[in-house]
Amino acid sequence: MSHMDSFDYKPELNIRDGKPFDMPTFFGQAGNLYASPWKFQQRGQSGLYVSDLLPHLATQADKLTVIRSMVAKSANHMPAVAQMNTGFILSGFPAMGAWVTYALGTENQNLPAFVVLPDHRNYPWGGTLQWSNGFLPAAVQGTAFKSTGDPVPDLTSPSDQTRARQWVGAMNRTYAEQHPGESDLDARVRSYELAAQMQLSVPDAVNLDGESEDTKRRYGFDQTETSHMARRCVLARRLIERGVRFVQVYHGASGADWDAHGDLLGNHGKMAREYDQPVAALLNDLAERGLLKDTLVMGVTEFGRTPVAQGAGKKGRDHHPNCFTCWLAGAGVKPGIAYGASDDLGHQPAESPVTIYDFHATALHLLGLNHEKLTYYHNGIRRRLTDVHGHVVQGILA
């Protein structure tokens, strides 16, 4: 998502629209400076700037903690999404949800502790690697749910298999006792046991028929553009209500995302119409139900977009990891503030740069975890989500 078209107001970009600006870009096609086609306004009592691209989220401005000085390490989707999820640009490292599950466990024995709700069109860049357990015990990996139909394959049992499951369970336990320390085996046993429990608990969790018509309307069930994201956001709230520790909702997938290379107005306009209302409704719904006070909501993107158009006379923006915006809401953060700042054009951080290591360290802190002490010994190294980096961003803590 482009920061200077959503949460980072740049009047200087309007003044210098169409003027040349020399900067390196991912595809090497830097054009002239390109003003945002969306108007910005100060919103709510906080006066936080949010553009007309996101009119519904703008109504939630007083709940948002916006970080305008984010910095990532890669301009390529796959490693950039990996860094936002795992702290590393290489594959094979545990996702944040896996780390949190490893540290805190679950509050619900009948549902997975870490649930992923992918976009209905496709998986994100990197696919299932983005919610992998990496080198952590296999039991903490994410479980992907679909938002329509059976959320997981073969959820519905064709007949009563209680006795068969009991027999297989006894065999598995005997084998596990004979082969101690094999985490893959333990995870397999646990996954089968959880699958049996899920056959009873998941249908209730994912059954959205009981939601009120007013709730469905507020999320956007009744509109073609918002219906898919609306279902994922309501499902996320229902899972949080039932004690699922970490829920990750994707909007956009490889080949169908916020990648506005050739047409910023068309691309971001379409994606924002899908995203804006359901996410705003989720924040409002969590608050009304008293869940936001102990739920941390993170609105993230793997990088931002360039202040210049991609190519001469073009109307799109290229990848830009040097400076972008993410937001937080809920437990433990100061609402209605902007932290850090980009320069006049949104090109580089001008104040208080925040790395993804810092972002992760802060999120873990808000969950009651010390990012330097949450470690796992692997191949001779005490690994952690933040590698050897990261500082808690004290300025956003309530």
Average pLDDT value over all residues in the chain? 92
Residues in a beta bridge with 382: 377
Q: How far apart are CA 31 and CA 338, in angstroms?
A: 29
Percentage of residues in the chain having pLDDT higher than 90: 81
If you write DSSP's letter for every residue of 139-196 in order, what string do you get? GGS-EE--SSS-SSTT-S-SS--HHHHHHHHHHHHHHHHHSTT-HHHHHHHHHHHHHH
Mean pLDDT, range 183-200, rounded to an integer: 67
| Per-domain residue ranges of the chain | 1-72+268-398, 87-257
Q: Are strands 317-320 and 304-310 parallel, antiparallel or unpaired?
A: antiparallel
Q: Are strands 304-310 and 381-383 parallel, antiparallel or unpaired?
A: unpaired
Long-range contacts of 153-160 (CB under 8 A, 24+ apart): 155/198, 155/199, 155/202, 155/203, 156/199, 157/199
Does 113 or 167 have the greater pLDDT score?
A: 113
N-term to C-term CA, the chain = 27
Q: Is the pLDDT of residue 384 over 80?
A: yes
Closest CA to 63 of 269, 268, 237, 298: 298
Percentage of residues in the chain having pLDDT higher than 70: 91
For 272-323, the pLDDT digits (tens) are 999 999 999 999 999 999 999 999 999 999 999 999 999 988 999 999 999 9
For 205-234, the pLDDT digits (tens) are 888 888 999 999 999 999 999 999 999 999
**DSSP for residue 253:** B
Per-residue pLDDT band at 186 (split at 50, 70, 90): confident
Does 66 or 156 have the greater pLDDT score?
A: 66
Q: Is the pLDDT of residue 160 over 70?
A: no
Q: Is the pLDDT of residue 330 over 60?
A: yes
Residues in a beta bridge with 308: 33
pLDDT at res. 41: 98
pLDDT at res. 207: 85
307 within 8 A of 32, measured Cβ to Cβ = no
Mean pLDDT, range 114-119, rounded to an integer: 96
Q: How far apart are CA 228 and CA 16, in angstroms?
A: 38
Per-residue pLDDT band at 166 (split at 50, 70, 90): confident
For 10-57, the pLDDT digits (tens) are 999 999 999 999 999 999 999 999 999 999 999 999 999 999 999 999
Extract the tokens encoding 143.
């479980």
Q: Can you count the helices (H) and strands (E) in the chain?
A: 10, 17
If you write DSSP's letter for every residue of 301-338 in order, what string do you get? -S-EEEEEEESTT-B-EEEE-SSEEEEEEETTB-TTEE
pLDDT at res. 156: 60
Q: Is the pLDDT of residue 80 over 80?
A: yes
Per-residue pLDDT band at 155 (split at 50, 70, 90): low
Q: How far apart are CA 394 and CA 398, in angstroms?
A: 9
Mean pLDDT, range 139-152, rounded to an integer: 82
Q: Are strands 317-320 and 40-43 parallel, antiparallel or unpaired?
A: unpaired
Residue 308 CA, chain-centre distance (Å), reads 26
For 83-94, the pLDDT digits (tens) are 999 999 999 999
Per-residue pLDDT band at 162 (split at 50, 70, 90): low
If you write DSSP's letter for every residue of 208-246 in order, what string do you get? GGGS-HHHHHHHTTTSTTTHHHHHHHHHHHHHHHTT-SE
Per-residue pLDDT band at 109 (split at 50, 70, 90): confident
Q: Is the pLDDT of residue 78 over 90?
A: yes
What's this model's pTM, rounded to 2 decimal places? Answer: 0.90
Position of tokens 């918002």?
Answer: 226
Mean pLDDT, range 104-121, rounded to an integer: 92
Does 187 or 196 have the greater pLDDT score?
A: 187
